[in-house]
Structure 1
Amino acid sequence: MTDLPDLPSPFGAADAADPYPSYDRLRASGGMRRIRIRPGLEPWLVSRYEDVRDVLGDERLSTDPATTTEEVRAAIRAGRAEEQVALLGRNLLSVDPPDHTRMRRVMSRALSARRTVDLEKPVTRLADELLDELGRRGAGDLLADYTLPLAVSVICRIIGIPEEDHARFRAWGRALVRAELEDMTAFDRVSDEMAEYFVPFILGRRHSPRDDLVSVLASARDEDRLDDHELISLVYQLFFAGHESSAYFMANAVLTLLRHPAELARLRANPELLPGAIEELLRYEGSVKVPTWRFAKRDLVIAGAAVAQGEPVLALLASAGRDPGRHPDGAGELRIDRADTAHLAFSHGIHHCMGSAVGRLESRIAVSRLLDRFPNLRLAVPEDALRWRVNLMMRGVCELPVALGRPAS
């Protein structure tokens, strides 16, 4: 077993714009390292592809925060809202089997393949409406004006929020992003406003079900039945996890293509490459750096390191995607026609993202409609002027200013 010194966290401001050199050093230094995030929170971190995959599927690790210490839970609470998702009630990200198995079984019925296919036309229509407005202005923040409202409206449609209320949720989505970036005290206020809407809406579906995801969840019976607390927590988690990661990935994807003009030109010339390009972009610049916290259920050994019961373990998805051990043919290069795009952007194991099909669909539509309609799209600021989020979980810019240029004729 290894006995290596702790390493500084790779999640600070110095690594925000380009964390990949730090990830390279982590992979080179050993399979499992302890890092310092803040007092009371010094988790273990795996960064190599195979180790990350193993951790994500390791049944000896729990996502239930009750399995760690109060000191660790308090340190997580002291972080940004996105770090606290595991503490927000009983949902798919914070329970273990058999409860996780029960919840996932119900969710799989709600997120059916038919529902995903049925999203194609409304998502395309919504993307075009947002691009119409951007086109009239000629410029804008692609994150705030396109990918975020698109992702929020898609998840609202899945949940069953009436279309006339989507604008309210878009405003909440923008407010939550600003709260996480600038004013954490506003996060609770926005959450309270959402609760005033969400709780009666969700519980109302128990009595008046419709053809939407919440009604399927609320109508589960017998051994699959969700209690009110589980139902509310599950829908909250679906909204938070479902819109933010998608919005940031779509912005990341566009920014990455703009930074690689030769690959962008190839994609414009060969639009049939888009599905594979989305997978390559997920590998190269996915939006989730680290998924849900894991905690050791007992003393164990992972990747040669002794992990004590209750200690947190983090899996660095963003590093795994660029591991030369998994991609020896240029892990740090973007190639939209790469044959092997293996990545863990949607996690792995029992906590593999259930919305991955929806995420792929909306990303494909968002990128294709933007590129089709605005062939002269470009960044409106120098690359080094972009501000990147400084956090543990999410990878993305704070805003993405673009100039659209002349639309396609």
Structure 2
Amino acid sequence: MEKRCPVALDITGRDIHAEADGLRAQGPATQVELPGGVLAWSINSYAVIKKMLTDPRVTKSARNHWPAFINGEIPPDWEMISWIAMDNMVTAYGKDHVRLRRLVGKAFTPRRTEAIRPRIVELTNQLVDALETVEPGEVVDLRERFAYPLPARLVADLIGMSEDARVKTAKVIDMMVDTTVTPEQAQAVLLGWRGAMADLIAAKRREPGEDITSDLIAARDEDGSRLSEEELTDTIFAILGAGSETTINFFDNAITALLTHPDQLEMVKSGRASWDDVIDETLRVESPLAHLPLRYAVEDIELDGVTIPKGDPILVNYSAVGRDPALHGEDAGRFDLTRTDKEHLSFGHGPHFCLGAGVARLVATIGLSTLFERFPDLALAVTREELQPLPTFIMNGHRALPVRLTAPVPAGAHAR
């Protein structure tokens, strides 16, 4: 097969969809260059990604299966170090992954998810009520005022983190997903989130509460072999980061899609389409995750004439899945709530399927329905082309979402 030079991923995330189309055209696996000159394999096809997510020859554990990391060739200030240095249920391998996932999974049962509903309604109403104080027609950043704080505050509640601590940690998480950071910033990010989690754990040891952190501390302290201190720290951070960043970008993308497709929004308002349709079509056409780092080949993997050598890192491009023409046809990039097949892998697939998917769907439904009921004539304040993407090839969202708020419908005028 023709040997190609690695494609340097655009660290600014200027057009992740066009980039995915170009990579997909090169074959099932294409070698790419990450920050710092690190090489990896980008997977951009639905069929290959779905198979790879359940392939036992693929792992997420750098400490077990990435020779460059194990041998010290990856410096501690590598721009993406936080994504591989973690030791939690996301990066664990084999029995350790099963053990950690079982512990965390107790917090996301259907019963516990439903118990969160009142808090989601409360947080949503607080944010929408605050928006009602804005003068009609005034431009506000809806990402900053709604899409960001709703999931971020909810997940902070779930792990027992105070609002002050959440605000400080949010800056660290934002930098972690930014692929334009310098090595010095990357090192500060790693130290920053680990320090924040250590402070949270210490506080919860002193005063346990009804939260995931206290539950995991109890599991760790009852039997130290079940959860190491590093696993405890890194798992709580994984819940905070994964539970907030992806949902923030989902809200951003869903609101953008509805405001730029008024015919589709009207279908929801009239009841011809549901909020479930909105959720799945948004996740299909605008996955909040783009290239998620990193997985590794446990052994040589052959993909239609391309061999990913043992130990090489792999990037799964979730934003490419729902837009693959092989799955959804030539109009795969079109937002269409009437599409009967909205298949996507935005919650993952296989052993790493998102444990918080039920919570994410609940907050998405309550958040979107409340926002559009209270502001039915909400409008973008700029054209879609003027929205600036986040500076990252890891996430898919915008730096800001400027909108104009029209006169709100009084609370209680619609049933929630």
Partner of 1:307: 308
Partner of 1:158: 158
Unmatched segments (≥5 aa) in structure 1:
none
Distance 1:308 1:31 in 2: 14
Per-residue CA shift, 1:115-174, capped at 9, x if unaligned?
21112121111111111212212432111111111111110111123xxx2244135425
Partner of 1:26: 23
CA contact (8 A) 2:128 2:371 kept: yes
Summarize the Cα distance change of 1:373–1:55 in structure 2 as closer, same or farther, 3 Å threshold. same
Per-residue CA shift, 1:81-124, capped at 9, x if unaligned?
xx444334311221111111100011111222222111212111
CA contact (8 A) 1:288 1:395 kept: yes
Secondary structure of 1:341's counterpart equals coil
Distance 2:403 2:290 in 1: 25
Give the superposition deviation at 1:282. 0.5
Unmatched segments (≥5 aa) in structure 2:
411-416
Secondary structure of 2:296's counterpart equals strand
Distance 2:329 2:270 in 1: 27
Distance 1:400 1:338 in 2: 26
Summarize the Cα distance change of 1:215–1:398 in structure 2 as closer, same or farther, 3 Å threshold. same
Partner of 1:51: 48
CA contact (8 A) 1:86 1:93 kept: no
Distance 1:31 1:201 in 2: 43
Give the superposition deviation at 1:400. 0.9
Distance 2:158 2:126 in 1: 19
* 2:112 is the alignment partner of 1:115: yes
Summarize the Cα distance change of 1:271–1:209 in structure 2 as closer, same or farther, 3 Å threshold. farther
Distance 2:305 2:389 in 1: 34
Secondary structure of 2:274's counterpart equals helix
State the identity as a percent.
Answer: 26
Partner of 2:213: 214
Partner of 2:383: 382
CA contact (8 A) 1:51 1:303 kept: no
Give the superposition deviation at 1:271. 7.4
Give the superposition deviation at 1:193. 6.3
Give the superposition deviation at 1:70. 3.0
Between 35-44 and 233-242, report the one with greater CA deviation: 35-44
Secondary structure of 1:343's counterpart equals coil
Structural mapping, 1:67-78, within 5 Å = 67-70=65-68, 74=74, 77-78=77-78
Give TM-score, length-normalised by structure 1. 0.88
The residue type paired with residue 16 of structure 2 is: P
The residue type paired with residue 287 of structure 2 is: G
Partner of 1:144: 144
CA contact (8 A) 1:8 1:35 kept: yes
CA contact (8 A) 1:41 1:75 kept: no
Summarize the Cα distance change of 1:178–1:216 in structure 2 as closer, same or farther, 3 Å threshold. closer
Partner of 2:198: 199
Give the superposition deviation at 1:40. 3.1
CA contact (8 A) 1:242 1:355 kept: yes
* 2:250 is the alignment partner of 1:279: no
Secondary structure of 2:315's counterpart equals strand
Give TM-score, length-normalised by structure 2. 0.87
The residue type paired with residue 68 of structure 2 is: E
The one of 121, 124, 128 equivalent to 1:127 is 124
Secondary structure of 2:325's counterpart equals coil
Secondary structure of 1:136's counterpart equals coil
Per-residue CA shift, 1:206-250, capped at 9, x if unaligned?
575432212222222559721222111111121122111111111
- Number of residue pairs the alignment of both structures matches: 400
Secondary structure of 2:198's counterpart equals helix
* 2:59 is the alignment partner of 1:62: yes
Between 122-131 and 263-272, report the one with greater CA deviation: 263-272
Between 283-292 and 320-329, report the one with greater CA deviation: 320-329
Partner of 1:238: 239
Distance 1:204 1:74 in 2: 33
Distance 1:197 1:172 in 2: 7
Give the superposition deviation at 1:4. 4.0
Summarize the Cα distance change of 1:335–1:311 in structure 2 as closer, same or farther, 3 Å threshold. same
Give the superposition deviation at 1:187. 6.9
Summarize the Cα distance change of 1:293–1:73 in structure 2 as closer, same or farther, 3 Å threshold. farther
Distance 2:76 2:290 in 1: 16
Q: CA RMSD in A?
A: 2.7
Secondary structure of 1:405's counterpart equals coil
CA contact (8 A) 1:387 1:399 kept: yes
Summarize the Cα distance change of 1:195–1:96 in structure 2 as closer, same or farther, 3 Å threshold. closer
Summarize the Cα distance change of 1:40–1:178 in structure 2 as closer, same or farther, 3 Å threshold. closer
CA contact (8 A) 1:377 1:403 kept: yes
The residue type paired with residue 201 of structure 1 is: L
